[in-house]
Amino acid sequence: QVHLAESGGGSVQPGGSLRLSCTASGFTRSTNCMGWFRQAPGKEREGVAAIYRNKGSTYYADSVKGRFTISQDNAKDTVYLQMNSLKPDDTAMYYCAADPFDRVANTLASGKLLPVEWTYWGQGTQVTVSS
């Protein structure tokens, strides 16, 4: 059984930064690709970033490129999302997700992160950007 635990959310002013963490436990192969998604009130869940842990390959939604960075610490089975230059539009519940890479590779290669393709999910952590 795969378990994902997020932490690091909070409130920050526009232009500020936050770092989210997601620690995975369980069947390792099922978590060799991990991603971050977010869902704002009244909106659909959308992909933010993903990382193929075996190679360190990263993927980003256009809306966060240049501002967010996904990284990993394999020794800790932890993936991070460094969020800089935060905007009010970044306000959302942020979810960590995991899946075997071969299930999402084609979609990632086309530049998309589709929540429906991901199997394992954390409970989410709230990020609020407001002055």
pLDDT, position 31: 79
pLDDT, position 74: 85
* Angstrom distance (rounded) from CA 61 to CA 46: 9
Sign of the CA dihedral running 21, 126, 86, 129: negative
Contact 32, 101 (CB under 8 A): yes
Which tokens go with 93?
């519940």
pLDDT, position 1: 84
What are 45-68's pLDDT values in tens digits?
999 999 999 999 999 999 999 999
pLDDT, position 30: 72
**Which parts of the chain register pLDDT below 70?**
28
pLDDT, position 9: 95
